[in-house]
Amino acid sequence: MQRALRDRAVDQLNDHYELRRKIAREPELASILEEFIGRLERAFGSLEGVRGKRILDIASGSNSSRSPDTGKRTALFEPWFARLLLELGAEPVALDSGDLEGERFEHHRVDLGRPGAMDFLPAASFDGVQDSRLFGSPEFRKAYPRKRDHERVKAEIARQERRVLKPNGVLIHTDNPSGSFLP
């Protein structure tokens, strides 16, 4: 069952987003998807456990993402986690400063470096939260180059994660070690 659900989700990602063509061009994408699948299995016990869950993807990536190495458009930073969640039957909500128009899941364009940027999200409204790759984003590093900016944003994200998670909600993954104390 688990393998069939995984395979079906990957097939749907291919149908909707040309996943296999993008993996052929950027092979690292396959390991990124495997990493996301592993995170979900660890957080919810199985991929089936994701169905019906409302999950927030902070710094989801976008259709306008660029490689930090080349500066060219890349599929590696497209919103694959939110896309995968949707194909698994979850209710993803993606936040990013880049372009998410045309995506089939709820999304909001926000500047995550701005204090209070996530205040519009209702408290205790998510079964799971992931934040990943914000601090490695070339767009974020350019807009917020100072270490004190990063520390301020890390503290704000940790605060918001605690605020928006439901009781017994799961922190799926964080690049923010200060967020690791969440319930």
Higher pLDDT, 178 or 125: 125
> What does the alpha-carbon distance between residue 180 and residue 172 come to, in Å, rounded to a whole number?
10
Among 11-15, 98-102, 135-139, 159-163, where is mean pLDDT lowest? Answer: 135-139
Predicted pLDDT at 174: 81
Higher pLDDT, 68 or 90: 90
pLDDT band at 182 (very low <50, low <70, confident <90, very high): very low
- Put simply, whether the predicted model's pTM sits higher than 0.75 gets the answer yes
Euclidean distance between CA atoms 134 and 27, whole angstroms = 22
Instruction: Report in angstroms the alpha-carbon separations of 146 from 33, 98, 110, 137.
Output: 31, 21, 20, 14
